[in-house]
Structure 1
Amino acid sequence: MARSGKLLLFLGLWGLAAAQIDPNVCPHKQQGATYKAWSATATWPNGAPDSTVDVTLNDGIYLVDTDVDVKSITVNTNAILVFNDADLSVRTRYILVRGELYLGSENCKLTSNIDITLYGDKGDVAISGFGEKFIGVEGGVLHIHGNPQVSWSKLTKTVHRLKDGQIADVYNDGEKKTSYQGIVMYVWDATSGQLERSEGVYSAGRSIITKSGVQCEADEEAKMFEETLNNVPDGKIIGLALRKQLFRRGNVNYAMFYEIFENFAFGKVTGNSGVRDVRLHDAWSFIMRKGDTSTSQELLLKDDKKILARTAELYHYDNGIKFTARSWVHTIRRGACYSRAKSAKAEIADPKLALADDVSSWKVGDEVVLLSTDYDPKQAEVTTVKQCDDCSANEICVRLKLFLFVSVEPLFTHFGEIVNGVDMRGEVALLSRNIKIRGAPATNSKTLGGHIKVMRGFKEAQVENAELVNLGQLDTLGNYPFHWHMCGDVTNSYIRGSSIRDSNARCVTVHATNGAVGVAMFPSSKGLHALRDRTPNIKNNSHPHLRFTTRCNYNQGNIKVSKTVEAIIEGRDDLDHHIIVGGKMTDEMDRKEVIHVNAIGKIGQISNTEGLVFLQTFRKNVVAVNGIRNGLEEKDERLKNGDR
């Protein structure tokens, strides 16, 4: 049917005029409720909304039970929008909540994987008070309750870095800055792990003769590709990885190459290998033991427009050695795209972590981060939980992954001991959550993420066990990953048990708001400003548990922001085991602006000579100190002496 692409208004011709949700029953399982299922044809008299439509819900209870892709969603005062407990994906420019929005409840945590993507470019829309790319609460109710998991723990054994000589590592086809574009081949000895060959093997005919990639050149290079593979002895480990792109012409048939690859990789022409579907901005890799097609692995990561970088990385384990082939492709930073080969002892490359707490809630595939136990916050290393058949409840086996161009093996030692009564154990934090809210990359701004804002007059705002990714808008003042905006006295509202990562502007902002209790998260990556306010007092707000790797000295709304972390907390005496990790400090910073805990005592600043990082617990003890900073009080002898 034809669509105007403007505004589609749903009057809600049936259902309760002012529906109610029983807090003791799952929102998606309310007895006696009449749900208007998003997937039901009857819900939409004018046809199901598509990506060109702004959806307005006016009354009744709407159930999201299918994937959704629309321009926007407005939940008006008498309407309720409920998510089913199922794997769901929602893509929209914004969700404006004047009524009620439920993803689970306090008594009914959702366990399925739900992904909400806020998309759009700068200037696409301008909603009063909220701007663009947001979940906004204006007089309404917001409930987001993911599956409970242990947020973070501490190491009880040191994780040692990978030492020189324990790894074979190469970028691209032998040169990190090579201009080669196409498929690169790596060959290892399966017994020693030694990398024996590294060369470009297929560029769709653009590396031979005229380099124009016409039909005869594509076929000729396909034959050369086959000959190269055949010359590798059986038993060797072969990795293939795409570097930057496989540039192809529309009038060239590449069937010969596809068939040669499939016969080699799978023993027959399958017609459905991933390499057939490689397009611009995709990442692709392959690995196997030559001569044994049962070991073949292929991975294609398509450009889904949600993230800027894709890492197609595969692993083969043989003789106690981990072999890795990686293709890293960035949508914008084309010159940084690369392929990579690595090999290392598996017991070192995929360490088993011994932790202080029961972390059986961390599942295979979850991302966790080992925080820095040194002076440099960039020594944090992101890992993925892998299958471990002999791990106890306090142990996990992890596979390190790309993070800020860091290796897939531990490059840094992560300390896991208590020394002379001082707890020096490194923190290990869970990044993944089953409910993910992300800002899609904008084409005209590198720092235009999504944001969540709660305005004065809202009824409830509860967010727990959620993962907030690429939120915050650096060039728009007041749009932060999560923002209580001048709400006054509030009750029964919080954000807790959540991770905030890759933020563009701070993490959680409590502005002229009192009673926002239970704030308990561990933001990661750049731009952390928590519990910040310009008013004289913010009372009875709780506090972050764990924060790391922050950034400062950026411009926001033409205002230079040089503060790294700012915590203003009054009337709290329960600050044990709350830790700040990472950050950058500058000489112009005011000590009181960085850390100020009323009724407990000023703790002061800690930095090294380059002003790169501070790491400190509140009230309990100092976890790490690097150097001396002017203005420390006399009683802080451990800080002044540089004790660890």
Structure 2
Amino acid sequence: MQILPALRLHRLHRTSEFCCCSTSGCGKFVVPLSSSDVCSSVQVSRHEVRGVLLVVLLPSICSVCPDREPGLQPWLPGHSEEHHVTIGSGQNVLLTASATVHSIQILNGGKLVVADSNRPILLRTRSILVGNGGGLHVGSPDCPYRGNFTISLFGRLDSGEDAHAYFGRKFLGVARGGTLEIHGRPKLSWTFLNATLHPGGPPPELPAAAELGEPRRPGARDPPGQRGVLQADRFDTHRSQDESRRLAEFVGRLEAGLIVVMLVNDEASKNLEESARGGCPSWGVDTSREDSWTFIVKKGDPSSAVEDHSLYGGVRALPQAKSVAVFESRSGKRFRVTASSQWLQEAEWSDCSPLDIQAQTVDGVPSNQTGDVIHKNDKNYGFVCLNRDQPHGSCHNYRVRFLCGKEVQPRAFVSVDTLSGDSILELADEPLGWESGDRVVVASSDFSMHQAEEFTLMPCPQCSEHQVKVKGQARFVHLGGLVDGWTCGRRWAC
């Protein structure tokens, strides 16, 4: 038998795979270790007997998870707010289930270890004192706690309980000689928003198409009511072919996948060229001067197109065209886009060719409630009350007004409604260790810290590595990403 004293041991990975090298060559072997055992060093001896290579591993220093250490006794104190607990010398106990006690003292070498269980463990108590060689252990550096453990301190200041001279009445305190170790899994503590989080619920209506100004520059902040609107403009394709070409250029610059909404509430086909018709050949064809038309499409996806057309029928049959389409964002959030175009006739009470008549006494009593016999009450004839027709001999004093119609005006609007009750957060970093049920706080983007909001994480199989889904929707705007040319949350604080 030959013993080779010069061996070098190299650990290749966190798995139990090592490479053993000597002057006569190298061999690789795998050491079967349990997931709870992490060895810091290994001694290796190599023996060669009749051509057979024998490798012996002798663990020298191993770290075991705290809840798997030998000698621990299961501890199930139950639930009693009057139970005073002292864990002292020679007592090494393992908490395996939720419990409620009055107080816990871990002293004189006693040890309380929390089991790493698949079930949540809630420990309710007024106080925990660790000192004089005692220890409270939840996981370890080499074996982080993976379960769900909560310490909940209860009690009132005016309860009359005796207070600790240093820590008071309700506390988790570590005195001289005490040890408190709590080691959980690595978890990202904070990060930046990579995209602005907008308030939930439907935004206000967008401005009428006739009121939209020049296209907004890329990166400009969305004004109230224009969440997600990148650009908006108007084109008078009835008046000029130049407007038709400008429309074609406008649509041509848009990226595939963007949602395009078009509205018409007047004749738009007179100078509309083929280059501007694109994927909507029915637009502006065979329409009268006051027809209404709406069109919604995701650019590059003709199958997503929806449109509506309403013929003008005069002031007594005002047309309305309304298109509705539901889309899904990259993050899986569903939202509805509504486009409406119509002619409206407003009205006011004045002297004119009336639409209606209204009569009441000078005291504000409607004519039909005075008890008078009304001779005439007609918008075309007027209002007449004759004294001779009244049982009491005279009419009340009346005042009369007429409802007059204004000129018919076009009106167009677009609205966006969020259909999902949840929100997707775009993060600058991968949310390492974040899990469903965790709670996160989104800081305020305003001077008021009251706009900070708390959310609960939800499962999100479709989320990317930098996205998380939270329950509910924001009540305030939380800026992130590029806003007005500034990178919020990255280089500059916004």
TM-score range, shorter chain: 0.3 to 0.5
Q: Flag the structure with larger Rg.
A: 2
Bigger share in strand: 2
Give me the TM-score of the superposition, normalised by structure 2: 0.41
Give me the TM-score of the superposition, normalised by structure 1: 0.32
